[in-house]
Chain A
Amino acid sequence: MTYFPEEVVEHIFDFLGSHGDRNTVSTVCKAWYRVERLSRRNVFVGNCYAVRPERVAARFPRVRSLSVKGKPHFADFNLVPPDWGGFAATWIEAMARGCPGLEELRMKRMVVSDECLELLARSFPNFKALVLVSCEGFSTDGLAAIATHCRSLKELDLQENEMEDRGPQWLSCFPDSCTSLISLNFACLKGEVNAGALERLVSRCPNLRSLRLNRAVSAETLAKVLTKAPQLVDLGTGSFMLDHRSEAFHKLFDAIQKCKSLRSLSGFWDASPLCLPAIYTICANLTGLNLSYAPAIQGFDLIKLIRHCWKLQRLWVLDSIGDKGLAVVASTCKDLQELRVFPSDIYGAGSAAVTEEGLVAISSGCPKLNSLLYFCDQMTNAALITVAKNCPNFIRFRLCILEPRKPDAVTNQPLDEGFGAIVQSCKDLRRLSLSGLLTDQVFLYIGMYAERLEMLSIAFAGDSDKGMAYVLNGCKNLRKLEIRDSPFGDAALLEDVGKYETMRSLWMSSCDVTLGGCKVLASKMPRLNVEVINERDESDELEENPSDLHKVEKMYVYRTIAGPRNDAPDFVWIL
């Protein structure tokens, strides 16, 4: 056996990017385990309750970048009650004690308090990047702490968080000596910021590449900011409301022309179509465009704008773009890789949005398409089969027909064949969301063909336990399965209990699983946490001691090496 000095081994590990590869080499032998754990810089924790934070800090004391995810994905649809869990505090405390060299923290769907942010700001002298996605529990006071104490801050990225506004002072807390910002995103902030402080901050940060403002920032302020930061690559405008005949508009127009490096745009709150000419000249360079906050930009104005954007790789729009608009996207944006079409009117009172025609047009015009989120009124099997043929490269395919259980709009059949074609054709499919009328047949197809599938979202679908069983028996790479309002019960749940140790998590709500079934699962699989989430219901007399036959409203099951968690509220029972 050759002797490998530790630094040689470390040199090899330096070039191993993925967590999977790092995990592999850590099990080669004891020496490699030790070298690997002391040299791992990026740690990813997919479920904050799968491992205790102290364990992470102990194993990887030299971690520089930590990512942690908390609540299950269906929390985005308000299916997870507040106070369920996902508290960031224990993580930040453990890192503060064990890993003072931490430079980056990324958290998704976690509860982050101002106290946590204060602790974070004070505990890590080299802290550089904070990214919070879909988090809650903090306010602008927490941001003030970060701004005040993180001397080398490069990135502050807040995406879709629920945060309390306690005033605009936080932005002024960045000291004059702060010149290192590369990325600043506060688009989700509700309150105002001090325009002067914003301009001064932007002026003194020459490396600023990405800036996303919130709705409260006026177009006049935007113009001033852009003149100080013409090097921006990614811009989220604030409010885009201006009189196009005004002096202010001309100033904005001039400022935008100078931003030759802009590749990605978002924001556009309250945008009037008459102001769009301000961005026409830079459209030809755009690779990313998000118009999902601009309902006033539609029809002819939207089409005219899209015609300028022939290099787009990523487009997020509202369904008011219509099938005609999507046809223009198809003929203009040949490099399109990701498309998201959001519903502009969830209550269905408006005019027809997008249908299967728009999707078919996109699929035939944009062969590089690999990621789709499509909210629509209707779909057909024929369309999905055509899409599958045109675009075999889908990695993410999420179709959301607004009305549950809606059949094929032409034949009135279930959409089993359409989705079947998608999974059969798209060999690299990793994420799939289903909708429309679906029988157990679609799950047979998924189990049979979706070999690389990692995440599956099911709502109002299937006929019987067989459906869920097909998926559990078939998809060998399945990591996350989330199911709501579908007729799957204990037989499906208990079909292959060992399967759940190969997955990150299973969520089932409004299904037919009973308390008894959950208890059986918990007793057979002690290394899983089986959580039953009961919300207060005054009319429910069985609250105190429900029978095992009682159907469980919400269940969340996940593998863990941390044992049952001790921070669960009383409405969560860990069996």
Chain B
Amino acid sequence: METSTCSKKIVQLRSSDGQLFEVDEEAAMSSEILKNMIEMGMPSPLPLYEVDATTLAMIVESWNRRLQEKRGEITEAELERWEEEELLKSKEPDGDAICVLLAANYLEDEHLIDRAGEAIAHHIKDMTVEEVRDYFEIENDFEREEEEKVFQQNAWAFH
């Protein structure tokens, strides 16, 4: 019995916290970093020092879905909806979108960088400075006068 010609090659990835993931090689090629590692023949498991297991699980699933879309198993609209609602949780945003963006940046996955970037930008649109700082958990390191000066310049000159 002949096996299908698209016998899937699998690669093994290791998250920063030691968990192993098996992924379709074609799916993993969504990441430039992994593409290079695979083409250079690096041995499995390929180490991803900056992506933890939780985030990697989400990213791998997104790659699988993109592969499904590429193969016509799901529509583009279905992919987009999953990315927006499940992956990036655009409707009730929490830190997931940020984790995805950081991971996508590390992995050099252009598509995901764009999607996550856009989702986050959309979420912070019309926010106040304090709200943005809270969302990203960033501390304000401006001196009081500096901050006022920038604020004033923005409001008086560039608005």
Q: Give me the interface of A with B, judged by CB distance under 8 Å.
A: 1-2, 4-5, 7-8, 11-16, 18-21, 23-30, 32-33, 43-46, 50-51, 55-56, 59, 501, 559-561
Contact = CB atoms under 8 A, between A and B. Distances in A.
A561 B127 contact: no
Interface in B106-140: 113-114, 116-118, 120-122, 124-129, 132-133, 136-140
Contact of B159 (A4, A15, A19): A19
Given A20-B159, A27-B150, A50-B156, A15 B121 contact: yes
11 contacts: A2-B136, A8-B105, A12-B120, A12-B124, A16-B125, A24-B127, A27-B129, A27-B154, A30-B141, A33-B142, A50-B157
Interface of B: 98, 101-102, 105, 113-114, 116-118, 120-122, 124-129, 132-133, 136-142, 147, 150-159
B interface majority secondary structure: helix
A26 B150 contact: yes
A23 B157 CA distance: 10
A364 B114 CA distance: 44
Given A2-B137, A21-B124, A43 B158 contact: yes
Contact of B153 (A5, A28, A30, A51): A51
A29 B102 contact: no
Nearest to A2: B137
B157 A51 contact: yes
Contacts of B118: 15
Given A24-B127, A24-B132, A29-B142, A7 B158 contact: no
B129 A8 contact: no
Given A4-B102, A5-B105, A25 B154 contact: no
A30 B142 contact: yes
Contact of A46 (B116, B125, B137, B159): B159
Nearest to B159: A19
Contacts, number: 106
Contacts of A25: 124, 132
- Of the candidates A15, A25, A44, A45, the one having the most CB atoms from chain B within 10 angstroms of its own CB is A15
Nearest to A25: B132
Contacts of B151: 27
A56 B132 contact: no
Contacts of B138: 1-2, 4, 28-29, 32
A20 B105 CA distance: 26
Contacts of B98: 2
A27 B102 contact: no
A25 B136 CA distance: 11
Contact of B140 (A23, A28, A44): A28
Contacts of B142: 27, 29-30, 33
A332 to B, nearest CB: 36
A559 B158 CA distance: 12
Given A1-B139, A7-B105, A25-B132, A12 B121 contact: yes
A252 to B, nearest CB: 45
B102 A2 contact: yes
A44 B150 contact: no
Contacts of A18: 125
Contacts of B126: 20-21
A45 B102 CA distance: 34
Given A4-B138, A26-B150, 20 more contacts: A4-B102, A11-B105, A11-B114, A11-B116, A12-B124, A14-B121, A15-B120, A19-B158, A25-B132, A26-B154, A27-B142, A28-B133, A28-B136, A29-B142, A32-B138, A45-B158, A59-B153, A501-B156, A561-B152, A561-B157
A32 B129 CA distance: 12
A44 B158 contact: yes
Nearest to B135: A28
A11 B154 contact: no
B153 A561 contact: yes
A32 B132 CA distance: 11
B139 A29 contact: yes
Contacts of A56: 157
Given A2-B98, A24-B132, A560 B121 contact: no
A24 B139 CA distance: 15
- Of the candidates A8, A33, A45, A501, the one having the most CB atoms from chain B within 10 angstroms of its own CB is A8
Contacts of A24: 127-129, 132
Nearest to A52: B157
Contact of B155 (A23, A30, A43): A23
Contacts of B156: 50-51, 501, 559-561
Nearest to A14: B117
B56 to A, nearest CB: 17
- Of the candidates B105, B127, B129, B147, the one having the most CB atoms from chain A within 10 angstroms of its own CB is B129
A251 B114 CA distance: 50
A243 B90 CA distance: 61
Nearest to B117: A11
B134 to A, nearest CB: 10
A60 to B, nearest CB: 9
A14 B120 CA distance: 11
B158 A23 contact: yes
B140 A29 contact: yes
A267 B114 CA distance: 43
Given A2-B98, A25-B124, A27-B151, A15 B117 contact: yes
Nearest to B97: A12
A59 B149 CA distance: 13
B117 A12 contact: yes
- Of the candidates A29, A44, A46, the one having the most CB atoms from chain B within 10 angstroms of its own CB is A29
A479 to B, nearest CB: 9
Nearest to B130: A28
Contacts of A44: 158-159
Query: What 5 pairs between A and B have smallest CB-CB spacing?
Result: A15-B121, A51-B157, A23-B154, A11-B117, A15-B118
Given A1-B138, A561-B157, A13 B102 contact: no
A45 B129 CA distance: 21
A51 B149 CA distance: 13
A44 B156 CA distance: 11
